[in-house]
Amino acid sequence: MFRGFFVKTISFVGYTVQYGCIAHCAFEYIGEFVSCSGPSMEPTITNHDVVFSERVSCHLWDIVIAKSPFDPKMNICKRVIGLEGDKVCTSGPSDVFKPHTYVPRGHVWLEGDNLRNSTDSRSYGPIPYALIRGRVCLKLWPPHSFGILAESPNDGRIL
């Protein structure tokens, strides 16, 4: 009796470890589910939206999840406005003068869709590619807005 219980327990632990390893690899190398908070990406992503972020690609105008340059324990959700070598506008939407800068090699320029209420590369400068965790490719929650994300409402930021 004890032997049968022991064999079933070891078998269960083996399957649990196996599926745990598969889940870890999937979330580490393929993508992850992210719950977003804060107003910086409104109206594209609002507070408490759940999105799927994949780790394979990142292009201009994509929305990405990145490590915060100020707090590595915190993730940020922003749109890629400029890639290395691009000339980007660094001013706010109501600024009279429109200063610009070039994105250095190995970096990207990130901005929130809600320019009036976003702490982004206009505050902390370009961030290294290494801080990008993944590209948001699908909005999962709430159900009525399920699908691919909308285009940026802030065109014309690259000069």
Given the residues 8, 11, 35, 40, select the one marked as catalytic. 40
Q: Rounded distance, CA 9 to CA 11, Å?
A: 5
Q: Rounded distance, CA 65 to CA 33, Å?
A: 11
57 assigned to active site: no
Residue-by-residue DSSP string for 2-57: HHHHHHHHHHHHHHHHHHHHHHHHIIIIIEEEEE--SSTTTTTS-TT-EEEEESS-
145 assigned to active site: no
Given the residues 78, 118, 121, 139, select the one marked as catalytic. 78
Q: Rounded distance, CA 95 to CA 90, Å?
A: 10
Rg (CA), the chain: 20
For residue 149, CA distances in Å to 6, 38, 114 come to 50, 17, 15
Strand partners, 76: 66
Residues annotated as part of the active site: 40, 78
